[in-house]
Amino acid sequence: MPKPTLTDKLVVAISSRALFDLDESHRVFMAEGVEAYHRYQLEHENEILAPGVAFNLVKKLLALNEGERQYVEIILLSRNSADTGLRVFNAITHYELDITRAAFTKGEPTSRYVPAFGAHLFLSADTEDVKRALAEGYAAATILPSHVTNNVSRELRIAFDGDAVLFSDESERVYQTQGLAAFAEHESSAAHEPLSGGPFKNFLAALHRIQSDYRNGDSPIRTALVTARGAPAHERVIRTLRAWNIRIDEALFLGGLDKGEFLRAFGADIFFDDQKSHVESASRHVPSGHVPHGVSNE
Protein backbone atom coordinates (compact mmCIF):
# COMPACT_ATOMS: atom_id res chain seq x y z
CA MET A 1 0.00 0.00 0.00
CA PRO A 2 1.49 3.39 -0.96
CA LYS A 3 2.24 5.84 1.82
CA PRO A 4 -0.17 8.76 2.23
CA THR A 5 1.04 12.00 0.67
CA LEU A 6 -0.19 15.58 0.43
CA THR A 7 1.93 16.54 -2.56
CA ASP A 8 -1.02 16.63 -4.99
CA LYS A 9 -3.28 18.71 -2.73
CA LEU A 10 -3.83 22.34 -1.81
CA VAL A 11 -2.75 22.29 1.84
CA VAL A 12 -4.10 24.95 4.20
CA ALA A 13 -2.91 25.04 7.81
CA ILE A 14 -5.15 26.90 10.24
CA SER A 15 -5.00 27.69 13.94
CA SER A 16 -7.87 26.77 16.25
CA ARG A 17 -8.46 30.47 17.06
CA ALA A 18 -8.90 31.27 13.34
CA LEU A 19 -11.27 28.34 12.80
CA PHE A 20 -13.39 28.71 15.97
CA ASP A 21 -14.39 31.47 18.37
CA LEU A 22 -12.00 30.93 21.28
CA ASP A 23 -12.08 34.53 22.51
CA GLU A 24 -13.45 33.70 25.95
CA SER A 25 -10.95 30.94 26.70
CA HIS A 26 -8.14 33.15 25.36
CA ARG A 27 -9.20 35.88 27.78
CA VAL A 28 -8.96 33.33 30.59
CA PHE A 29 -5.47 32.39 29.44
CA MET A 30 -4.29 36.01 29.22
CA ALA A 31 -5.80 37.02 32.58
CA GLU A 32 -5.26 33.92 34.70
CA GLY A 33 -2.59 31.79 33.05
CA VAL A 34 -2.12 28.27 31.73
CA GLU A 35 -3.60 26.29 34.60
CA ALA A 36 -6.81 28.33 34.65
CA TYR A 37 -7.06 27.96 30.88
CA HIS A 38 -6.62 24.19 31.17
CA ARG A 39 -9.39 23.96 33.77
CA TYR A 40 -11.67 26.19 31.70
CA GLN A 41 -11.30 24.10 28.56
CA LEU A 42 -11.94 20.83 30.39
CA GLU A 43 -14.97 22.27 32.21
CA HIS A 44 -16.42 23.46 28.89
CA GLU A 45 -15.26 20.49 26.83
CA ASN A 46 -18.78 19.47 25.79
CA GLU A 47 -19.87 23.01 24.87
CA ILE A 48 -19.57 23.37 21.11
CA LEU A 49 -17.43 26.27 19.99
CA ALA A 50 -19.01 28.86 17.70
CA PRO A 51 -17.52 29.32 14.21
CA GLY A 52 -14.55 31.69 13.93
CA VAL A 53 -13.61 34.21 11.24
CA ALA A 54 -12.14 31.63 8.85
CA PHE A 55 -14.79 28.92 9.44
CA ASN A 56 -16.79 29.67 6.29
CA LEU A 57 -13.60 29.77 4.22
CA VAL A 58 -12.63 26.32 5.50
CA LYS A 59 -16.08 24.90 4.75
CA LYS A 60 -15.87 26.15 1.17
CA LEU A 61 -12.35 24.79 0.75
CA LEU A 62 -13.48 21.37 1.97
CA ALA A 63 -16.48 21.52 -0.36
CA LEU A 64 -14.00 21.36 -3.26
CA ASN A 65 -13.53 17.69 -2.30
CA GLU A 66 -17.16 16.76 -2.96
CA GLY A 67 -16.49 15.83 -6.58
CA GLU A 68 -14.34 13.06 -7.99
CA ARG A 69 -11.03 14.54 -6.84
CA GLN A 70 -9.80 15.36 -3.36
CA TYR A 71 -8.27 18.77 -3.96
CA VAL A 72 -7.80 20.18 -0.45
CA GLU A 73 -6.31 19.15 2.87
CA ILE A 74 -6.99 21.27 5.96
CA ILE A 75 -4.47 20.89 8.79
CA LEU A 76 -5.25 22.08 12.31
CA LEU A 77 -2.27 23.72 14.05
CA SER A 78 -2.99 24.56 17.68
CA ARG A 79 -1.09 25.79 20.71
CA ASN A 80 -3.44 23.74 22.85
CA SER A 81 -2.22 20.50 24.33
CA ALA A 82 -3.88 17.34 23.07
CA ASP A 83 -5.86 17.38 26.32
CA THR A 84 -7.30 20.89 26.00
CA GLY A 85 -7.50 20.47 22.23
CA LEU A 86 -10.17 17.80 22.59
CA ARG A 87 -12.76 20.58 22.73
CA VAL A 88 -11.58 21.78 19.32
CA PHE A 89 -11.91 18.31 17.82
CA ASN A 90 -15.36 17.97 19.37
CA ALA A 91 -16.34 21.10 17.41
CA ILE A 92 -14.77 19.71 14.22
CA THR A 93 -16.87 16.56 14.63
CA HIS A 94 -20.02 18.55 15.43
CA TYR A 95 -19.72 20.67 12.27
CA GLU A 96 -18.77 17.60 10.20
CA LEU A 97 -15.52 19.15 8.97
CA ASP A 98 -13.26 16.66 7.21
CA ILE A 99 -10.14 17.55 9.22
CA THR A 100 -8.12 14.56 10.38
CA ARG A 101 -4.56 15.84 10.67
CA ALA A 102 -3.44 18.14 13.47
CA ALA A 103 -0.50 19.29 15.56
CA PHE A 104 -1.00 20.34 19.19
CA THR A 105 2.08 22.09 20.57
CA LYS A 106 1.13 22.96 24.19
CA GLY A 107 2.12 26.63 24.00
CA GLU A 108 5.00 26.30 21.55
CA PRO A 109 4.94 28.04 18.14
CA THR A 110 2.98 26.08 15.56
CA SER A 111 4.64 27.64 12.50
CA ARG A 112 7.48 25.10 12.54
CA TYR A 113 5.01 22.49 11.26
CA VAL A 114 3.98 24.60 8.26
CA PRO A 115 6.98 23.37 6.15
CA ALA A 116 6.60 19.82 7.47
CA PHE A 117 3.04 19.63 6.14
CA GLY A 118 4.00 21.52 2.96
CA ALA A 119 1.26 24.09 3.52
CA HIS A 120 0.43 26.50 0.72
CA LEU A 121 -1.26 28.81 3.25
CA PHE A 122 -1.12 29.32 7.02
CA LEU A 123 -3.84 31.27 8.83
CA SER A 124 -3.47 32.16 12.49
CA ALA A 125 -4.49 34.69 15.11
CA ASP A 126 -0.86 34.80 16.32
CA THR A 127 1.14 37.42 14.39
CA GLU A 128 4.53 36.14 15.53
CA ASP A 129 3.72 32.65 14.26
CA VAL A 130 2.62 34.18 10.95
CA LYS A 131 5.84 36.20 10.65
CA ARG A 132 7.92 33.06 11.20
CA ALA A 133 6.08 31.23 8.42
CA LEU A 134 6.49 34.18 6.03
CA ALA A 135 10.20 34.36 6.83
CA GLU A 136 10.51 30.74 5.68
CA GLY A 137 8.81 31.54 2.39
CA TYR A 138 5.25 30.38 3.08
CA ALA A 139 2.04 32.32 2.48
CA ALA A 140 0.67 33.29 5.88
CA ALA A 141 -1.71 35.85 7.33
CA THR A 142 -2.99 37.02 10.68
CA ILE A 143 -6.77 36.69 10.80
CA LEU A 144 -8.39 39.87 12.13
CA PRO A 145 -11.53 39.76 14.29
CA SER A 146 -14.61 40.32 12.16
CA HIS A 147 -18.34 39.87 12.62
CA VAL A 148 -19.44 40.47 9.05
CA THR A 149 -21.97 38.26 7.32
CA ASN A 150 -20.19 35.73 5.14
CA ASN A 151 -20.81 35.22 1.44
CA VAL A 152 -23.57 32.58 1.47
CA SER A 153 -23.00 31.22 -2.05
CA ARG A 154 -21.15 27.92 -2.49
CA GLU A 155 -18.55 29.63 -4.70
CA LEU A 156 -15.19 30.23 -3.00
CA ARG A 157 -14.10 33.83 -3.53
CA ILE A 158 -10.60 34.95 -2.53
CA ALA A 159 -9.19 38.46 -3.02
CA PHE A 160 -5.57 39.57 -2.91
CA ASP A 161 -3.69 42.82 -2.74
CA GLY A 162 -0.82 43.01 -5.21
CA ASP A 163 2.47 44.48 -3.99
CA ALA A 164 4.07 42.55 -1.09
CA VAL A 165 1.31 39.89 -1.30
CA LEU A 166 1.06 38.37 -4.80
CA PHE A 167 4.09 40.31 -5.98
CA SER A 168 7.35 41.34 -4.32
CA ASP A 169 7.51 44.71 -2.57
CA GLU A 170 10.05 46.17 -5.01
CA SER A 171 7.55 48.65 -6.47
CA GLU A 172 6.07 49.53 -3.09
CA ARG A 173 9.57 50.47 -1.93
CA VAL A 174 9.85 52.95 -4.78
CA TYR A 175 6.49 54.46 -3.84
CA GLN A 176 7.30 54.77 -0.15
CA THR A 177 10.79 56.19 -0.64
CA GLN A 178 10.28 58.40 -3.72
CA GLY A 179 6.54 59.12 -3.94
CA LEU A 180 3.66 58.50 -6.33
CA ALA A 181 5.13 60.26 -9.39
CA ALA A 182 8.36 58.26 -9.19
CA PHE A 183 6.37 55.05 -8.67
CA ALA A 184 4.24 55.69 -11.78
CA GLU A 185 7.30 56.50 -13.87
CA HIS A 186 9.13 53.40 -12.57
CA GLU A 187 6.21 51.08 -13.36
CA SER A 188 5.68 52.56 -16.83
CA SER A 189 9.34 52.13 -17.75
CA ALA A 190 9.35 48.57 -16.36
CA ALA A 191 5.93 47.60 -17.78
CA HIS A 192 7.38 44.69 -19.78
CA GLU A 193 9.52 43.37 -16.89
CA PRO A 194 7.53 40.85 -14.81
CA LEU A 195 7.46 41.51 -11.09
CA SER A 196 9.05 38.96 -8.78
CA GLY A 197 6.68 36.73 -6.89
CA GLY A 198 5.48 37.63 -3.41
CA PRO A 199 4.60 35.25 -0.56
CA PHE A 200 1.15 34.41 -1.99
CA LYS A 201 2.22 33.59 -5.55
CA ASN A 202 2.36 29.83 -4.92
CA PHE A 203 -1.02 29.84 -3.17
CA LEU A 204 -2.61 31.64 -6.13
CA ALA A 205 -0.91 29.18 -8.49
CA ALA A 206 -2.37 26.26 -6.51
CA LEU A 207 -5.86 27.78 -6.77
CA HIS A 208 -5.30 28.28 -10.50
CA ARG A 209 -4.41 24.59 -10.94
CA ILE A 210 -7.74 23.59 -9.42
CA GLN A 211 -9.59 26.13 -11.56
CA SER A 212 -7.91 24.70 -14.67
CA ASP A 213 -9.67 21.38 -14.12
CA TYR A 214 -13.01 23.06 -14.78
CA ARG A 215 -14.26 24.06 -18.20
CA ASN A 216 -16.93 26.41 -19.53
CA GLY A 217 -16.63 28.84 -16.64
CA ASP A 218 -18.04 26.44 -14.05
CA SER A 219 -15.13 26.63 -11.58
CA PRO A 220 -16.21 26.79 -7.92
CA ILE A 221 -13.33 29.21 -7.23
CA ARG A 222 -13.19 32.89 -8.18
CA THR A 223 -10.17 35.10 -7.51
CA ALA A 224 -9.67 38.85 -7.54
CA LEU A 225 -6.76 41.27 -7.46
CA VAL A 226 -7.82 44.36 -5.49
CA THR A 227 -5.03 46.91 -5.62
CA ALA A 228 -4.52 50.59 -4.89
CA ARG A 229 -2.65 50.83 -8.21
CA GLY A 230 -4.23 52.74 -11.08
CA ALA A 231 -3.17 53.56 -14.61
CA PRO A 232 -0.43 53.61 -15.81
CA ALA A 233 0.86 51.18 -13.15
CA HIS A 234 -1.74 48.56 -14.12
CA GLU A 235 0.11 47.30 -17.18
CA ARG A 236 3.04 45.74 -15.35
CA VAL A 237 0.66 43.77 -13.12
CA ILE A 238 -1.29 42.40 -16.08
CA ARG A 239 1.88 41.43 -17.93
CA THR A 240 3.30 39.80 -14.78
CA LEU A 241 0.29 37.50 -14.36
CA ARG A 242 0.48 36.70 -18.08
CA ALA A 243 4.17 35.80 -17.73
CA TRP A 244 3.34 33.52 -14.78
CA ASN A 245 0.58 31.86 -16.85
CA ILE A 246 -1.82 32.42 -13.94
CA ARG A 247 -5.38 33.52 -14.51
CA ILE A 248 -7.07 35.89 -12.12
CA ASP A 249 -10.81 36.35 -12.61
CA GLU A 250 -11.30 39.97 -11.58
CA ALA A 251 -8.86 42.86 -11.29
CA LEU A 252 -9.78 46.08 -9.54
CA PHE A 253 -7.36 48.98 -10.00
CA LEU A 254 -8.70 51.48 -7.46
CA GLY A 255 -6.18 54.31 -7.66
CA GLY A 256 -6.06 54.69 -3.88
CA LEU A 257 -9.80 54.33 -3.14
CA ASP A 258 -10.82 52.47 0.01
CA LYS A 259 -11.14 48.78 -0.78
CA GLY A 260 -13.88 47.74 1.66
CA GLU A 261 -17.00 48.39 -0.42
CA PHE A 262 -15.42 46.80 -3.50
CA LEU A 263 -14.52 43.67 -1.52
CA ARG A 264 -18.08 43.45 -0.21
CA ALA A 265 -19.38 43.81 -3.77
CA PHE A 266 -17.04 41.02 -4.91
CA GLY A 267 -18.27 38.88 -2.00
CA ALA A 268 -14.82 37.88 -0.75
CA ASP A 269 -14.64 34.95 1.64
CA ILE A 270 -11.26 36.36 2.62
CA PHE A 271 -8.99 39.23 1.55
CA PHE A 272 -5.21 39.41 2.01
CA ASP A 273 -3.28 42.71 2.26
CA ASP A 274 0.12 43.70 3.64
CA GLN A 275 -0.99 47.09 5.00
CA LYS A 276 -2.63 46.87 8.42
CA SER A 277 -4.83 49.94 7.88
CA HIS A 278 -6.23 48.44 4.67
CA VAL A 279 -6.95 45.14 6.39
CA GLU A 280 -8.64 46.79 9.37
CA SER A 281 -10.86 48.76 7.00
CA ALA A 282 -11.62 45.69 4.87
CA SER A 283 -12.49 43.57 7.93
CA ARG A 284 -15.58 45.72 8.44
CA HIS A 285 -16.87 44.32 5.14
CA VAL A 286 -15.31 40.87 4.61
CA PRO A 287 -13.12 38.40 6.55
CA SER A 288 -9.54 39.66 6.19
CA GLY A 289 -5.98 38.60 6.85
CA HIS A 290 -2.96 40.83 7.43
CA VAL A 291 0.24 39.76 5.69
CA PRO A 292 3.05 41.23 7.84
CA HIS A 293 5.58 41.22 5.02
CA GLY A 294 7.51 43.78 3.01
CA VAL A 295 8.48 47.41 3.44
CA SER A 296 5.15 48.46 5.01
CA ASN A 297 5.86 46.17 7.95
CA GLU A 298 9.51 46.96 8.57
Residues marked as catalytic: 161
Q: What are the helix (H) ranges across 141-247?
A: 170-178, 180-189, 201-211, 234-244
Distance (Å, whole) CA 239 – CA 37? 51
Identify residue 3 by its one-letter amino acid code. K
Phi/psi-derived region of residue 77, left when phi > 0, alpha when psi is between -120 and 50, beta in every other case: beta
Which residues contact residue 120 at a Cβ distance below 8 angstroms, ignoring those fewer than 6 apart? 10, 11, 12, 138, 139, 202, 203, 206
**Count helices and strands in the chain by DSSP H and E runs:** 13, 10
Alpha carbons 248 and 167: distance in angstroms, whole number: 13
The answer to whether the CB of 257 falls within 8 A of the CB of 282 is no
- The residue among 47, 46, 294, 38 whose CA lies nearest residue 166 is 294
Count how many Cα atoms sit within 13 Å of the Cα of residue 120 in the half-sphere of its side chain: 22
Question: How is 279-298 classified by DSSP, letter by letter?
Answer: HHHHTTTS-EEE---SGGG-
Q: Give dist(CA 100, CA 175) in Å, integer.
A: 45
User: Alpha-carbon dihedral of residues 20, 23, 28, 30, nearest 10 degrees?
Assistant: 110
Please enumerate in sequence order all residues whose Cβ is within 8 A of that of 179, keeping only pairs 6 or more positions apart, or say none: none
Cα–Cα distance, 82 to 104 (Å, whole number): 6
